[in-house]
Amino acid sequence: MSLEILPVVTKKDLRTFIYLPEKIHAGRPGWTPPIYMDEWTYFNPKKNRTFAICDTLLLLAWKDGKPVGRVMGIINRRFNEHRKENIARFAYLETYEDREVFRALVRRVEDWAREKKMTRIIGPYGFSDQDPEGWMIQGFEHHATIATYYNFPWMPVWIEEEGYGKDADYFVYQLPVPKELPEFYRKIYERIKRRGQYEMVEFASRKEIKPCVRPILSLMNDCYVNSNIYGYHPLDEQEMDDLAKRYLPVLDPRFVKAVKKGGDFVAFIVGMPDMTAGIRKARGRLFPFGLLRILRAAKKTKQLDLMLGGVREDCQGLGLDVFMGTRMIASAQEAGFETMDTHHELESNVKVRAEMEKMGGVVYKKFRVFTKIL
């Protein structure tokens, strides 16, 4: 059987690239398709501003005329300039359980990275930490959540056999939504509120959130850059707008919390009802009835997914995470949620992990980003 690794050139090629994973994962209950309308925007350089600051490569593997695998290569020039490194990334690698195809795709991206004078490659990692990052290495019995990989268990094993090792691990905690607010949360919340330095900001509609998007994402820039968050590059205004367009339509205002000091945002947290059951029923298609299925699932779910959060550097250690967390717990209680998924927490972020465990959180998934010297 002949194997060819070919670049994505035409719109037909891109369609094959985008929809191939649903064929590879057909019948797999834990896998959740992406929202395909978002995928068409994400992989379109005319619509996704991040292509302008990156070198990219989209590849398809073909065997006897049939698509059997895909991968994306990324060199984020802004990130490399910011970190003074020469790092390439592989992302969106999908294959059937075929070692020849897997190896050919990985090695083709490595060759491309070497041609671009890169000295190291990491992956799976997208344009930024807002994209899926890291392959699952623990928790395969649990379903995927939005913006995370749900890879086959053999993929981490095979990538290590290609000479890759651990670069970073992410832990995902499952937190019970308490029936009553923990006493230490209540005391911290009341103390901050009594002092009156900080204002809790909550939202009743997406319309109210919209003018706050740029200030909050600018705060995210400050928080993540100052904290040297793994894989993060500062967003420009266009990228902020693109990120808002991607997520604002599905945000539930009840689960967006922020804190102001002197009129400026200094902390924020964003959660989202788990809508993966609806996305699976819709097969990732919003029309004609997919959106209704997704919204219905968001109303029925008992799980809240925490997505983003941050506290300005000069306001850290003052309890603002608890201040927001208190209101988030109250909103989760009112909505009837039973559990919260914390999304990715870096293994090295011991302070946040300690807070999760103090609240009764248990690690139920782990993801790993791999690296190799070129």
Q: How confident is the model at residue 229 (pLDDT cuts 50, 70, 90)?
A: confident
Q: What is the pLDDT of residue 147?
A: 80
**Per-residue b or e along 17-52, where b marks 16 or more CB atoms closer than 10 Å to that residue's CB:** bbebbbebbeeeeebbbbbbebbeebbeeeebbbbe
Residue boundaries of the structural domains of the chain: 3-171, 178-337
The band of 1, judged by pLDDT with boundaries at 50, 70 and 90, is low
DSSP-derived pairing of the beta strands 339-341 and 303-311: parallel
pLDDT digits (tens, 9 = 90+) for 187-217: 999 999 999 999 999 999 989 998 898 888 8
DSSP structural state of residue 144:
P
pLDDT digits (tens, 9 = 90+) for 347-367: 998 888 988 898 899 999 999
Instruction: Quote the pTM value.
Output: 0.93
Residue 257, H or E segment: strand 256-261
User: Residue 289 pLDDT > 70, yes or no?
Assistant: yes
181 pLDDT tier (thresholds 50, 70, 90): confident
For domain 3-171, is the CATH number 3.40.630.30? yes
What distance in Å separates the CA atoms of residue 150 and residue 32, rounded to the nearest whole number? 8
Per-residue pLDDT band for 226 (boundaries 50, 70, 90) equals low
The conformational region for residue 251 under phi > 0 = left, psi -120 to 50 = alpha, else beta, is: beta
Q: Is the pLDDT of residue 109 over 90?
A: yes
Average pLDDT over residues 84-101: 97
CATH superfamily entry for domain 178-337: Gcn5-related N-acetyltransferase (GNAT) (3.40.630.30)
